[in-house]
Amino acid sequence: MSFNRPPNGVYYIKTPVEMRAFINLLKKFRGYATTLITLYINSERPIPDVLNLLRSEWSTASNIKDKTTRTHVQDTLERIINNLKGEAKAPENGMAVFAGFHMINQGNYEWVYYVVVPPQPIYTFKYICDTAFHTEILEDQMHAGVVYGIVVVERGEAVIALLKGGQWEVVKTVEFFVPSKHHAGGQSANRFKRQTEHLAETFYKVLAEEVNKIFLQIPTLKGIIVGGPGPTKEDFLEEGGLDYRLKDKVLAVVPACCANEYGVVEAIKNAQEQLKESEYVHAKEVMEKVMYYAVRKSDYMVYGKERALKALEMGMAETIVVAEELGEDAVLEVVMKAEEKGVKVEVVPKGVEESKTLMQAFGGYVALLSTPVWVLEQQIQAEAA
């Protein structure tokens, strides 16, 4: 087994979308009694020590009275031992092994074996025998992903949103009466101006309290984008009383049309450079590239499951773009095949608006090619002849 170029069954998770797909897949499997084995190995744990533990568990399993349970557990342990033998240590981020016989129905079993290398380090060692695989550590990693805060503020209105993974959501709307700058006749202009400025300052403080309350509770908050029309966004930062810990996280102050969902979308768009680590922004950039190919370089692109996978199989695909909406089985099938070929895969999350375009216009699959499409067509015809 080589961790640098993994064989079938070894899965290097790169994105939260892939993590979601893999966890959902693992949750489908069920064993006969406590026969499915979950093994988490941190990078500090020497593999020879792990093998000694597994051999000890094999001996202990010989005392299991139920023959099917005993056979499944010992067979699974033998296969894990054989696969890990010869390795000195786990990869830098550790690894998780999920192995056992999935019970399709009584007396009918299917061998399941996956080795997962996660995007973040595994810090613990765990060995578990159960009726289902234990994915909690992977789930914790998925939920601990990068989060960005978005605040869009205009006169007397604001929305607070969170951008995490492949989607964003408005978590709070704040409204406060601040009159327009055009005052009613008969009132002192200076007095009206002072009252308006006081109300605006009060609104900014109310908003800052809500922002502090929400954002300070998020340990994985990567940064904050503040948007809005005119000077309101700058005024809010100067006068609102935003906590100093959050002020340090402000990545950009950008124009946005209004304090609603449209304003959030515009703020994200105008801060793409600062949000480049965001899965949502990255997915939008991927779909922009797909549309560019569709319009300007259509002779270097194929779409639909059959043609995209054919391009991958024949080594002519540079990048495969697939929609999360296809389901975890389809996504993982593409990712596994692409890893064998050394081809880059981009998975577009459900939460990105352009994922509908990927599904409706391209059938959920796109292959960007290294050679013109006619070369692919020639090879397909030659195979069929």
Mean pLDDT of 59-74: 94
Q: Which of 143, 164, 197 is the last residue of a domain?
A: 143
Residues 14 and 130 in one domain: yes
Return the higher-pLDDT residue of 265 and 350: 265
Residues 14 and 129 in one domain: yes
Asked whether residue 350 is assigned to any structural domain, the reply reads yes
Least confident of 4-18, 93-107, 212-226, 251-265: 4-18
Residues 169 and 236 in one domain: yes
Query: Does position 4 have pLDDT exceeding 60, yes or no?
Result: no
Residues 19 and 119 in one domain: yes
Domain that holds residue 121: 10-143
Rounded Cα distance between 18 and 24, Å, is 10
Residues 372 and 315 in one domain: yes
Mean pLDDT of 32-50: 93
Distance between first and last Cα of the chain: 38
Highest-confidence segment of 95-109, 176-190, 197-211: 95-109
* Chain center to CA of 133: 21
* Chain center to CA of 124: 22
Rounded Cα distance between 50 and 47, Å, is 5
CATH code at position 61: 3.30.960.10
DSSP state for residue 44 in the 8-state scheme: T
CATH code at position 161: 3.30.420.60
Residues 65 and 118 in one domain: yes
Concatenated DSSP letters of 195-258: HHHHHHHHHHHHHHHHHHHHHTT-TTEEEEEEEESTTHHHHHHHHS---HHHHTTEEEEEE-S-
Rounded Cα distance between 153 and 314, Å, is 52
Question: What is the structure's pLDDT at 143?
Answer: 66
- pLDDT tens digits for 236-246? 998 878 999 99
Q: Is 344 helix (H, G, I), strand (E, B) or coil?
A: strand
Query: Does position 50 have pLDDT exceeding 80, yes or no?
Result: yes
Residues 228 and 178 in one domain: yes
Q: How many domains does the chain have?
A: 3
CATH code at position 300: 3.30.1330.30
